[in-house]
Amino acid sequence: MSYRIGFGIDFHQLAEGRALWIGGVEIPHHKGSLGHSDADVLLHAICDALLGALALGDIGVHFPNTDARYKNIDSKILLQHCMGLIQQKGYEVVNIDSSICLEEPKIKKYVPAMQSVIAGIAGITIHDVSVKATTTEKMGFAGREEGLMAYANVLLKKLAAE
């Protein structure tokens, strides 16, 4: 049985008049993430971690932001696509650990919903999905509420020999 670890990171600007999607959940706020897709920073970091675990490139390779098909796309679809690639290679997810970094709004109460969305797509239980939140103590772009970032680690397990 072989295991692979993956790491992902993502950043987005925050802008007035955009929806704030984090972890597949829409969070009420006067600003939202700016991007070609729905700009879900957490799901993008998890996608990159999944791809990274099997050295399949990064999210920009699989979903170019110049491709009109991905304009305002729901990032849950991107995560489903990445899961499909993992499964094609004979792997399944063991667990996901992640951190979201932003100043406002406070997102703690939305974490169980995020865990549920991510677990459902990744084929694991909510106990296998960690979503943590932190601030930068008002320092830097996140502290000035200009943007947000997310980090994710995943562990994959190969079930059967090829």
Residues that bind Zn ion (CB under 5 A): 10, 44
Question: What is the nearest approach in angstroms of Zn ion to the Cβ of residue 51?
Answer: 13
Question: What is the nearest approach in angstroms of Zn ion to the Cβ of residue 120?
Answer: 20
Question: What is the nearest approach in angstroms of Zn ion to the Cβ of residue 10?
Answer: 4
Question: What is the nearest approach in angstroms of Zn ion to the Cβ of residue 52?
Answer: 14
Cβ-contact 40, 21 below 8 angstroms:
yes
Looking at the DSSP assignment, which residues form a beta bridge with residue 151? 9, 99
Taking the CB of residue 13, how many other CB atoms lie within 10 A of it? 15
Strand ranges (E), the chain:
3-16, 20-22, 25-27, 31-34, 91-101, 129-134, 147-158
* CB nearer to Zn ion: pick between 35 and 129: 35
* CB nearer to Zn ion: pick between 77 and 94: 77
* CB nearer to Zn ion: pick between 46 and 156: 46
* CB nearer to Zn ion: pick between 31 and 44: 44
Question: What is the nearest approach in angstroms of Zn ion to the Cβ of residue 118?
Answer: 15
Residues in the chain: 162
* CB nearer to Zn ion: pick between 40 and 103: 40
Strand, helix or coil at 137? coil
In sign, the C-alpha dihedral spanning 94, 108, 143, 25 is: positive
- Per the omega criterion (within 30 degrees of 0), is the bond before 112 cis? no
